[in-house]
A and B are shown apart, each in its own frame.
Chain A
Amino acid sequence: MEKGKKPALDEKEIIDGCLRGSSVSSRAMVDAYGNLVMAVALNVVGNRQDAEDVCQETFLQVFRHLARYDPSRSFKTWLLTIVYRRSLDMIRKKRRFSEFSARARFEPAVAERGGNPHPADPEPLPSALLTKLSPRERTALCLWANEGCTARDISVVLACSASTARVYLFNARRKIKALLENDHGLLQNS
C-alpha cells in the first residue's frame, strides 16, 4: 500500500490483522492513523521532533496492548488516549531535562558529565498562544477544534469526568480569545 492513500482494509480488519501479528495490517494502521496521531502529538507537545517520538511510542504501545482494546468502544478515542498520555510523558521528560539543563548552567561540572543541552527545537508550536494553556486545556481544545470531539470524548481521552472536560475546554477557549483580543488584536468582537 502506498503511503498517504486510504487503506484498503477497514478498521476492524486492520485491528484483527494487527492482533494476528500481520505486518500488512500494522502498516495499514500506521498509514491510516499516522497523520492523526502526529497532529495531536504536535499540537500537545509543541515541536515536531518530540511529536515524532511520541508518534512512534504511541504505535508501539498500540501494537503491544491492542488485545486490551474494547471493540465496543471507539478505536479512535482509545488511540487518542494513548497519544495524550505519551505526550504528557514527553512534556514531563522535557520539563525534567529543562530543570537539569538550567542547573547545569550554574554547575559546569554537571554539564561536563553529560549535560549537553539539546539544540533549540526548530519547529515550535504552531501558535505561541497555545503555550499559555496547560497540556490538558491544549489537548481539549485541539480535540474539539481539529477532531470535532465532544466533551464526553475529551473526558475519555483526559481520563476525567465530562464536566471537568467541559471546564478545561471552556477555560481554553476563553483564555485564547482574551489573549487574541487583548494582546494581539487579531480578532474583532462580533
Chain B
Amino acid sequence: MAFCKIVDVIYVALPIRPLRAFLIRNHMERCPECQARLLSRAEAGRLFVSSDRVGMPVDLWERISSQAGRGTPVPEAPPNPAGAGWRWAAAMGTAAVVAVTGFWLLREVEKPGFGPGFVGAADRFQIDYVNVGGAPAQTFVYQPQGTDTVFVWATKNP
C-alpha cells in the first residue's frame, strides 16, 4: 500500500510520459490496489454508446453516395478517347498556325525594307555637316554589320 502511494506520488509529480508508461506497465497494471482505483472496462462501457445501440442515420447512404458519386459505378479511369482526339486536334491546329505564320514571316523578308534591296537606301545615307551649339561638331556614323540601322553620334568639338 505504501509502495502504491509512492508510485502514485511519482506519477503525479513527474509528468514524463515514458516514466508514467513505465510505472503503469510495471506496477499499476499489475497491482490489485491500483487497479481498484481505475475504471473497469464494464464501468467504462456503460458511459459510452455502443455500436449496436447507436443506430445509423436513415439517409446516411444517400448522403454519402450523392457526394461521392457512388450511385453508379465509377469507371476505372480508362483514357477518354474523345478527350484525346481533342488534344490531338488542338496540337495539330497549333502546329498549323505556327507553320503558316512562319511562312508568312519568311515571305515578308523578301519584301523591300527587309531585304538586300533596302541596303541601297542605307548606302544613300548622307550628312553634310552637323552643328552643335552653332559650331561644327565631331560626328560619327555607325551602321551595325548586317543591319540597315544607322546611328549618328555628334559631340561638341573641344
**How distant is A44 from chain B, measured CB to nearest CB, in Å?**
10
Is the Cβ of B54 less than 8 Å from the Cβ of A173?
A: no
Is the Cβ of A21 less than 8 Å from the Cβ of B74?
A: yes
Is the Cβ of A3 less than 8 Å from the Cβ of B65?
A: no
Q: Does A64 contact B (CB under 8 A)?
A: yes
**Chain A residues proximal to chain B, CB less than 8 Å:** 3, 20-23, 26-27, 30-31, 34-36, 38-40, 42-43, 52, 55-56, 59-60, 63-64, 126-127, 129-130, 141-142, 144-146, 162-164, 166-167, 170, 172-174, 176-178, 180, 187, 189-190
- If A3-B56, A35-B56, A190-B36 touch, does A26 touch B51 (CB 8 Å cutoff)? no
Give the CA-CA distance A159 to B108 in the complex, in Å. Answer: 70
Interface range on chain B: under 10, 10 to 19, 20 to 34, or 35 or more? Answer: 35 or more
Minimal Cβ-Cβ distance residue in B for A35: B51
User: Which residues 48-76 in B have Cβ within 8 Å of A in the complex?
Assistant: 48-57, 60-61, 63-65, 67-68, 70-76
Is the Cβ of B51 less than 8 Å from the Cβ of A38?
A: yes
**How distant is B16 from chain A, measured CB to nearest CB, in Å?**
10
**Chain B residues proximal to chain A, CB less than 8 Å:** 17-18, 20-22, 24-25, 28, 36-39, 41, 43-45, 47-57, 60-61, 63-65, 67-68, 70-76
**How distant is B56 from chain A, measured CB to nearest CB, in Å?**
4
Minimal Cβ-Cβ distance residue in A for B25: A166
**Chain B residues closer than 8 Å to A167, beta-carbon distance:** 17, 20-21, 24
Is the Cβ of A21 less than 8 Å from the Cβ of B76?
A: yes
Is the Cβ of A26 less than 8 Å from the Cβ of B50?
A: no
Give the CA-CA distance A190 to B134 in the complex, in Å. Answer: 120
**Chain A residues closer than 8 Å to B73, beta-carbon distance:** 20-23
Is the Cβ of B50 less than 8 Å from the Cβ of A56?
A: no
